[in-house]
């Protein structure tokens, strides 16, 4: 019987430590997305025939102006952060839609970067560490927003998983 009490207590400790993080996934994800645009390499482009490569930061795509779709990489997390001030009726939908739109914009930008010199050289674009962190922020945002939108209690789900 003491073992049952001990295992319940350890589950409660895990829940107490993660409560704040779970409650704030809608804030953590967009902040990670914004920060990843300014720190670390976002995409790495390499020219297949010559072997030359170039590494670009996320802010270079956003503020350079060559790819207009890159603006969504910054706008989407900002709108997700400001969703509570937009309106209570659409807040959950906006928080869910923005990471989806951001991931679409991310892969459209990656594809556009890959096809820049397609006719002549063959450019390949790969996701660098900043881009990977951006995608992690998108996933965190989707988990938090999806749980809110569909009414899933993440605390309860985590407790179910940890009890197995």
- Please give the residue that has the higher pLDDT: either 9 or 115: 115
**CATH number of domain containing 155:** 1.20.140
Q: List, for residues 136-149, the tens digit of each pLDDT value.
A: 999 999 999 999 99
- Please give the residue that has the higher pLDDT: either 149 or 84: 149
- CA end-to-end span of the chain: 18
pTM summary value: 0.81
Q: How many domains does the chain have?
A: 1
Q: List, for residues 88-116, the tens digit of each pLDDT value.
A: 778 899 999 999 999 999 999 888 887 76
Domain extent at residue 154 = 2-163
Determine whether 116 is exposed, middle or buried from the number of CB atoms within 10 Å of its CB (0-12, 13-18, 19+). Answer: middle
């Amino acid at each position: 019987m003491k073992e049952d009490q001990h295992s319940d207590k350890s589950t409660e400790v895990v829940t107490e430590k993660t409560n704040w993080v779970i409650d704030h996934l809608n804030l953590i994800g967009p902040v990670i997305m914004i920060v990843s645009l300014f720190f670390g390499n976002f995409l790495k482009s390499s020219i297949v025939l010559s072997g030359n490569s170039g590494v670009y930061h996320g802010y270079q795509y956003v503020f350079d102006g060559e790819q207009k779709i890159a603006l969504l990489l910054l706008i989407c997390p900002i709108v997700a952060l400001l969703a509570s001030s937009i309106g209570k009726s659409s807040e959950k939908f906006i928080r869910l839609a923005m990471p989806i739109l951001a991931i679409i914009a991310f892969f459209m930008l990656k594809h556009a970067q890959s096809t820049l010199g397609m006719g002549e050289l063959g450019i390949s674009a790969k996701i660098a560490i900043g881009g990977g962190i951006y995608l992690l922020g998108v996933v965190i945002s989707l988990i938090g927003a999806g749980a809110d939108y569909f009414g899933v209690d993440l605390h309860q789900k985590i407790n179910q998983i940890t009890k197995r």
